[in-house]
Amino acid sequence: MQYLNGAEVLPEELLKEIQKYVDGETIYIPKVKKRTSWGCKSGTRNLIDSRNNEIFSLYNQGNNIEILAERFFLSEYTIKKIITKCSKY
């Protein structure tokens, strides 16, 4: 992390306003970078969403939770959570 002199990089009005709160102290200003959600960059999120939609569709077609759990190698509890979540949308 590099330290900068606020007087060199900030407009005078902004510098005076900041000095009201932290006069002469070191302050960290975080980046404006917005984080992406888990799995968005790698495509994993899309794969899981697609799988969950398939599970919900198969459940609606009459497949029971036990069969879906075996088919997708998930616990029955996880299948129930997926069905509950998908039914809200």
Domain ranges, ordered by start, for the chain:
44-87
pLDDT at 35: 81
Q: Which of 13-22, 52-61, 76-85 has the lowest mean pLDDT?
A: 13-22
Contact (Cβ atoms closer than 8 angstroms) between residue 79 and residue 68? yes
Q: Is the dihedral of CA 45, 51, 53, 56 positive or negative?
A: negative
Q: Residue 2 — very low, low, confident or very high, per pLDDT cuts 50/70/90? A: confident
28-79 pLDDT, tens per residue?
888 887 888 888 889 999 999 999 999 999 999 999 999 999 999 999 999 9
- In this prediction the pTM is 0.61
Distance CA 45, CA 38 (A): 7
Q: Is the dihedral of CA 12, 13, 15, 20 positive or negative?
A: positive
What the block records as the tokens of 52 is 């969950």
